[in-house]
Chain A
């Protein structure tokens, strides 16, 4: 099997000179197609930095990131937005829903940029909301939803385009046990349908859902637990 994600000697430095922060210091990681990976590590170890780069939301300062075998450094702005739209579903720790906009419209958003027609868009967005158990909250705005519900809207938005890769940054970080279980159930089901899932967590129970756990220490991979 060919790796869907391959990262070699990845480096990321924020700032420069005396105040420079080396968030990633030569990180190597390979993720096979259909894998379910948990990334763990101390706060500030570089997990979010890594995931943002994997999601093509940020660019590394050094090293290579191959997506489906192609170096992402070669992509131009337009190809990157296409990748973010079609190939990757990203779930933010802080939800990042468009304010003053209904749950349905938020979930439809990636489909609009994908050029899906209105009727079909609605149908797929409703199906995604159904999947996360929010069918009855479609016309609520983010400020009218609980944290767990907002997180589930964000997940629905990440999976509505049926992306090959789902990246989730502490998707259960703000949730209670029941909501966590629901969200993890959704990710499990996504993985069962063949999608590659990479999630960041601080909790061992969450990591237990994954096939393997990658430990990040000081911007490098410290060890892999199977």
Chain B
């Protein structure tokens, strides 16, 4: 009795039950593909966030207001604070840009668009955020002084409001106030959870005039002279602000370096990845149970056949071999299709996220489903092969 004959039985067993074989393959396919895809999406999201933070540059400090401690009044961050940060007392600081942000709806002709971020700042803001201009120009310090109603828009806003048109020189209505578009920023791409190109930047003065009023700043973005000067810059900024805000105890502002920002954001994306990984683990489990189920049904359905084969003299080893080969073929075939589906699927953008394949997840998904298929294909078969022929024949 050669292995070839047993393999032929296995192949005939599979082709004689096309529906069952097809469903088993499908079950394994879905299990493997969903695990690969989910992990790729999680990985894609976190690497996008990391890239967008890395794009900020390594010599940036972000100062944002903190809520007041009970019993004290928090001073808002002001333009004067920002101005005070550059000077003799802070040799390590190169610029400090005051930043306000607003909710704004822009309209051009019949089209309107809710802008993701409407920012008011000075021209240094473009430098600190690594924003390059693609069309037209950035606004100037003079525009800020004169509070001119000019705006630089991101690629998404340009595409939404001016499809097929050159936006430069056009007039948009921002919350019904006309602004002239002077430039369009180069696209940065989606950073996973938010679109970095869905923004508009106008002079600080104009924004305060027209949109936010003269309250506190949302942020002060400080650029140090170099990455090495960052700790010095942080110390100097802290001294100056503590002096101006007469800080005792807990400060009413918070300074974050790009490093800390990265750590904070990485922590969030890690949570996200862990979440997706647990979803993937669950889907692997569910897929595994599906495979187990279908394999068990398959073997149970065929215990009579096992009885017949034993009655005409099949040794236990050949029955085991036949079912093992059947399970192997199904698992490998379904697993390979699942890997193919997962790899192809990860080429598409899913919910705004470009998935990035994790090779080990491919291996894991394939191995787990193949092992489950093998085990639950052969274990019940081996139990059935141990039955006396008459017991197997009587099985219903």
Contacts and interface: CB of A to CB of B under 8 A. Distances in A.
A195 B391 CA distance: 28
B309 A100 contact: no
B313 A101 contact: no
B305 A113 contact: no
B331 interface: no
Nearest to B5: A112
Contacts of A171: none
B309 A84 contact: no
B390 A115 contact: no
Contacts of B309: 98, 109, 113
A149 interface: no
B313 A85 contact: yes
Given A57-B389, A84-B389, A96-B311, A113 B316 contact: no
B308 A58 contact: no
Interface in A94-118: 96-101, 105, 109-110, 112-115
B305 A99 contact: yes
Contact of B310 (A81, A97, A99, A114): A81
Among the interface residues A83, A100, A105, which one has the most CB atoms of the partner chain B within 10 A? A100
B315 interface: yes
B312 A110 contact: yes
B193 interface: no
Interface in A72-87: 77-78, 81-86
Contact of A81 (B304, B307, B316, B391): B316
A91 to B, nearest CB: 11
Among the interface residues A59, A98, A157, which one has the most CB atoms of the partner chain B within 10 A? A98
A47 to B, nearest CB: 14
Interface residues of A, number: 30
Interface string A105-145: 10001101111000000000000000000000000000000
A157 B312 CA distance: 8
Nearest to A48: B390
B306 to A, nearest CB: 10
Nearest to A160: B312
Chain B: interface secondary structure?
helix
B16 interface: yes
Contacts of A85: 312-314
Contacts of A84: 310-313, 389
Contacts of A99: 305
A113 B318 contact: yes
A78 B16 CA distance: 28
Given A77-B316, A109-B309, A96 B5 contact: no
B388 A113 contact: no
Given A81-B316, A99-B305, A113-B318, A59 B388 contact: yes
A83 to B, nearest CB: 8
Contacts of A113: 1, 309, 312-315, 318
Among the interface residues B2, B308, B316, B393, which one has the most CB atoms of the partner chain A within 10 A? B308
A90 interface: yes
B248 interface: no
B305 A98 contact: yes
Nearest to B391: A58
Contacts of A162: none
A82 B310 CA distance: 10
Contacts of B73: none
A52 interface: yes
B390 A58 contact: yes
Contacts of A109: 308-309, 312
A115 to B, nearest CB: 5
Nearest to A59: B388
Interface string B356-396: 00000000000000000000000000000000111101000
B12 interface: yes
Given A52-B390, A100-B16, A101-B12, A112 B1 contact: yes
Interface in B296-348: 304-305, 307-316, 318
A120 to B, nearest CB: 13
A126 B23 CA distance: 36
7 contacts: A77-B315, A82-B313, A96-B308, A96-B393, A98-B309, A115-B2, A157-B312
Given A98-B305, A113-B312, A157-B312, 20 more contacts: A57-B389, A58-B389, A58-B391, A77-B316, A81-B315, A82-B315, A83-B313, A84-B313, A84-B389, A85-B313, A96-B308, A96-B311, A98-B308, A101-B12, A105-B12, A109-B309, A110-B312, A112-B5, A113-B313, A115-B2
The list of the 6 closest CB pairs from A to B, nearest first, reads A85-B313, A110-B312, A100-B16, A57-B389, A84-B313, A58-B390
